[in-house]
Amino acid sequence: MQKAKKVGLGQNNAKSRLFYTLLVLLPSIQFLIFYVYVNFNTIILAFTKFTLGEADGFTFNNFKHWFTSKHVEGIAYNDSHLWGSVGVALKSYVISFCTGVPLGLFFSYYMFKKMPGAGAFRILLFTPSILSATPLAIIFVQLTESVIGNGGWLEFKFWSLDHQYFSMMFFCIFTSFGTSVLMYTNKMDSIAPEIIESAHLDGANGIKEFWYIVLPQAFSIVQVFLMTGFAGMFTNQYNAFTLFSWTPPDDVTTLGMLLWNGVRKANESQAALGPYAALGLLVTIVVVPLTFLLRWALDKFGWKEE
Amino acid sequence: MFNLKRKHDKFSPLTVIMLLVLLIWCVAFIYMMLWAFMQSIKIEYEFSYDKEHFPKFDEMTIANYKCVFMFADIDNWMGEAGSPNFAGLIVNTILYAVGGAFLNAAVTCLMAYLTAKYSYFYSKIIYGIVIVVMVVPVVGAQASEIQLLRWLHLYDTRFAFMVLKASFVGMYFLVFYAAFKSIPMTYSEAAMMDGASDWCIMVKICLPLVLNVFMTVFMITFIQYWNDYQLALLYMPHYPTLAYFIFKFKGASTGALEIPGYSEIHGTLDPRKIPVQLAATFTLIFPILLIFIAFHKRLMGNLSIGGIKG
């Protein structure tokens, strides 16, 4: 059988090959240095022993620090920090997923049905996602402290020790609908009107239409958010640093926050960076197979579009 | 793409509940922003007595904004010399946001073009790399990144961020890739028959056809970098951007500021005071809101791996 002729620029042309090579060269070098080398160096750093700031052989201590209580170069690493932050990260992921996703889907369904004000709601819901988290956090904190809480409209103390985690999650969810609603509505809009009409002829009401037609069609987007959210669960800070600045309390410190803030504090000292490289590696080893497992489970048991 | 022209459906119990929830959300958000803006133009003295209501006309002032501009070199006020004035902040922000966004979009676009149009083996490798990097989450490489930047003498320079962001890996690669794939090969083939070089085909034929996609990706990335303060804080702490400054301003612990003529009437200004902090937030918000108002259709267009329809 005759092979199909290859389609593409630069077939058997030396000048084209040179052009291609020159253009891919710099981005490829950038990738090799800032992705491949950086990640490889993380592995090396995680196993490096430092003596007086100089690399001095191989060690497992950078991992061990996280399961005992240690001080390296004045920075404390301990198991209560680690397990506490893992717990906060898991809890935050579950809360944001269980509230944010259903609400986002319902909002998108309203817009998909082209109900009154759908366009304006869509723009307004998107607005917080284009604004910086810091100004929004300042405004939210001031409004809840000065006007809404503390005996203003409500007796509720938003930023007391007991309520600060709730307030942080409320802020995260309140400002999180932009991208998800945008993607859900775009996906829902591709549903053929005939399917909806035939469901109506069969007597489906709004809830049945949502559950049996709209949700399965939009599930691929839910799947994307579930996957990216899961993969990012241990790097997401849920605005803890934005809201609580340099010293966030333990009950709002996620693993992402612990890692980021730790690296920021430790960046003057090579020895102090080692345990954070080790923690990053440890988390990657745990998250990668779990992410693939989740993907497999969603493909096998999730809704199918057809 | 989301289409509003279709006639809307009848209300059902579900859509009525959603309408109520959406109305509550929108009223809360609009009130939050309006309240913040109104307090940002309120005299501090008035604010301390009435935090809830909007100011009367004679209680309005732009002095809070003046205070923000004067406190731009906030580290100097806090006893750490070396932070830039407001103009310096703007220069850093533009280099960071415009430079970073342009470099990121340009490198991604270029690599997507080469991968989509040249069917070499290396193109397949690049495509595979992008997919693998997107699927496999790598956590905690910052420690190593900082070490590398120090070694390259790029740490705490204006270029650190740009070098880091000149990367083709990410979702927008797939967006550009799909856009270039959708351009018929006949265009390039006709140009080749007329003697056009590879450079000429890329610059004069293919890139203009994806200019719309490029502008959208550039704008989305620009907004993302404009708002980001954490990378600046980590990789270039002595070159603060506007977002980084607002974050520092939030935690300012410095004393009061004398603005000539103002203090005689209203007392001294202090960055710790709430109206000044709220004014600081709007210096960061206003430019992005203006861009959003002007380009919201493009920014909210159909962003998909099948391309962007603005």
Q: How many CB atoms lie within 10 A of CB B134?
A: 15
For residue A254, the distance in angstroms to the closest alpha carbon of chain B comes to 13
pLDDT of residue B8: 62
Residue partners of B119: CB distance under 8 A and separation at least 6: A6, A7, A8, A11
How many Cα atoms are found within 13 Å in the side-chain-facing hemisphere of A82?
Answer: 19
In one-letter notation, the amino acid at residue B144 is S
What letter represents residue B300's amino acid?
Answer: M
Least Cα separation, residue B52 to chain A (angstroms): 6
Residues A65-94, mean pLDDT to the nearest whole number: 76
Provide, rounded to the nearest whole percent, the portion of chain A with pLDDT above 90. Answer: 22
Mean pLDDT for the stretch of residues A249-262: 84
Q: Tell me the one-letter amino acid at A145.
A: E
Looking at the structure, tell me whether residues B186 and B116 fall in a common domain: yes
B75 in a domain, yes or no?
Answer: no
Does the pTM of the predicted model rise above 0.80? yes
- ipTM score of complex: 0.83
Spell out which residues of chain A touch residue B197, defining contact as CB-CB under 8 Å: 15, 19
* In a shared domain, residues B65 and B91: no
At A3-55, the pLDDT tens digits run 555 556 766 688 889 999 999 999 999 999 999 998 888 888 889 887 767 77
Q: How many CB atoms lie within 10 A of CB B204?
A: 12
CB A49 within 8 A of CB A56: yes
Residue B2 belongs to some domain of the structure: no
CB contact under 8 A, B147 and A186: no
The span from the CA of A13 to the CA of A17, in Å, is 6
Same domain as B166, residue B278 = no
* Interchain pair A139, B107: CB under 8 A: no
Q: B290 — phi, psi (to 5°)?
A: -65, -45
> What's the pLDDT at B66?
83
Confidence of residue A305 (pLDDT cuts 50, 70, 90): low
Mean pLDDT calculated for residue range A153-160: 89
Residues on chain B touching A31 (C-beta within 8 angstroms): 129, 167-169
Token pair 């991992």 in the structure block, residue: A63
Walk along chain B (310 residues) and give the pLDDT tens digit of each residue.
Answer: 555 555 566 778 888 899 999 999 999 999 999 999 999 998 877 887 888 888 888 778 888 888 888 776 655 555 555 667 778 888 888 888 999 999 999 999 999 999 999 989 999 999 999 988 877 766 667 778 888 888 899 888 888 888 888 999 988 898 899 889 989 888 888 888 888 889 999 999 999 999 988 988 898 899 889 888 888 888 888 888 888 888 877 766 545 455 555 555 455 555 567 888 899 899 989 999 999 888 888 777 645 444 433 3
Record: contact A124-B250, CB cut-off 8 A? no
Q: How many CB pairs under 8 A join A and B?
A: 288
Residue B91 lies inside a defined structural domain of this protein: yes
Domain end, chosen from B207, B235, B263, is at B235
Mean pLDDT score across all residues of chain A: 84
Q: Phi first, then psi: what are they for B45, rounded to 5°?
A: -60, -45
Residue B76, pLDDT score = 56
Same domain, B42 and B182: no
In a domain, B149, yes or no: yes
Same domain assignment for residues B91 and B223: yes
Place of tokens 């059902």: B12
Which residue of chain A comes nearest to B223, CA vs CA? A130
pLDDT score recorded for residue A103: 93
B227 and B95 assigned to the same domain: yes
Q: Is A182 on the interface with B (CB under 8 A)?
A: yes
Alpha helix locations (H) across chain A? 14-31, 38-46, 61-64, 79-112, 118-130, 133-143, 164-174, 177-188, 193-201, 206-209, 215-231, 240-244, 255-266, 270-301
Sequence-distant (6+) residues with CB within 8 A of B272 are: B252, B253, B254
Q: Residue B2: name the closest of A190, A164, A251 by CA.
A: A190
**Contact with chain B for residue A118, Cβ under 8 A:** yes
- The residue ranking higher by pLDDT, A56 or B303, is A56
Nearest-CA distance B137 → chain A (Å): 6
Q: What is the C-alpha to C-alpha distance for residues B102 and B95, in angstroms, rounded to an integer?
A: 10
Q: What average pLDDT does the segment A127-139 reach?
A: 89
The confidence score (pLDDT) of residue A26 equals: 94
A258, closest residue in chain B (CA to CA): B140
| Residue B28 located in a structural domain | yes
| Domain match, B90 and B143 both | yes
- Distance CA(A259)–CA(A86), nearest Å, equals 11
Cα A56 from Cα B283, distance rounded (Å): 49
Query: Beta partners for A58?
Result: A48
List the CATH number of the domain containing B211: 1.10.3720.10
The pLDDT score that the predictor gives to residue B4 is 53
- Cβ atoms of B284 and A132 within 8 Å: the answer is yes
pLDDT at B310: 32
Cβ–Cβ below 8 Å for A132 and B228: yes
Q: Which residue of A has its CA nearest to B245?
A: A134
Instruction: Work out whether strand A75-78 and strand B302-304 pair parallel, antiparallel, or are unpaired.
Output: unpaired
- Determine, yes or no, domain membership for B143: yes
Q: Are residues B220 and B95 in the same domain?
A: yes
In this predicted structure, the answer to whether residue A66 has a pLDDT above a threshold of 90 is: no
Please give the pLDDT value at position A273: 77
Average pLDDT over residues A249-275: 79
Task: Determine the pLDDT at residue B268.
Answer: 56
Nearest residue on chain B to A124, judged by CA atoms?
B26
My answer on whether B130 and B169 are in the same domain is yes
Rounded to an integer, what distance in angstroms lies between the CA atom of residue B310 and that of residue A167? 36
pLDDT of residue B34: 95
Among B235, B267, B291, which residue terminates a domain?
Answer: B235
Nearest to A139 among B228, B233, B281 (CB): B281
Tell which residue, B10, B18, B35, has the closest CA to residue B274.
B35
Please, what sign has the CA dihedral across residues B81, B82, B87, B93?
negative
Last residue of a domain, one of B235, B267, B292: B235
Q: Residue A71: what pLDDT?
A: 61
* Residue B240 located in a structural domain: no
Looking at the structure, tell me whether residues B116 and B20 fall in a common domain: no
Residues B153, B226 within the same domain: yes
CB B164 within 8 A of CB B145: yes
Alpha helices in chain B (DSSP H): 13-40, 44-49, 63-70, 74-77, 86-94, 100-117, 121-135, 142-151, 159-165, 171-181, 185-193, 198-200, 207-209, 211-227, 230-235, 242-250, 262-266, 274-299
CB atoms within 10 A of CB B10: 8
Domain ranges, residue B224: 86-235
CB atoms inside a 10 Å sphere around CB B69: 14
Name the residue of chain B whose CA is nearest to A182's CA.
Answer: B300
State the nearest Cα–Cα gap between A163 and chain B, in angstroms: 20
Cα-trace Rg, chain A = 25
**b/e per residue B105-118 (b: at least 16 CB within 10 A):** bbbbbbbbbbbbbb
| Same domain assignment for residues B135 and B227 | yes
| Residues on chain B touching A32 (C-beta within 8 angstroms) | none
* Whole-number Å distance between alpha carbons of A155 and A148: 8
Q: Phi-psi region for residue A228, left (φ > 0), alpha (ψ -120 to 50) or beta?
A: alpha
Average pLDDT over residues A140-166: 89
* Closest CA–CA distance from residue A215 to any residue of chain B (Å): 14
Of A104-113, A270-279, B126-135, B216-225, which range is least confident?
A270-279
- Chain A residues within 8 A of B151 when measuring between CB atoms: none
d(CA B144, CA A126): 35
Is residue A76 helix, strand or coil?
strand
Name the CA radius of gyration of chain B, rounded. Answer: 25
The pLDDT value recorded for residue B81 is: 54
**Distances from the Cα of B72 to the Cα of A231, B88, B247, angstroms:** 38, 9, 12
Whether residue B6 is contained in a domain is answered as: no
Count of domains observed in chain B: 2
Chain A contacts of B250, Cβ < 8 Å?
Answer: 134, 137-138, 245
Taking residues A201-219, report their average pLDDT.
85
CA B211, CA B206: separation in Å to the nearest integer? 9
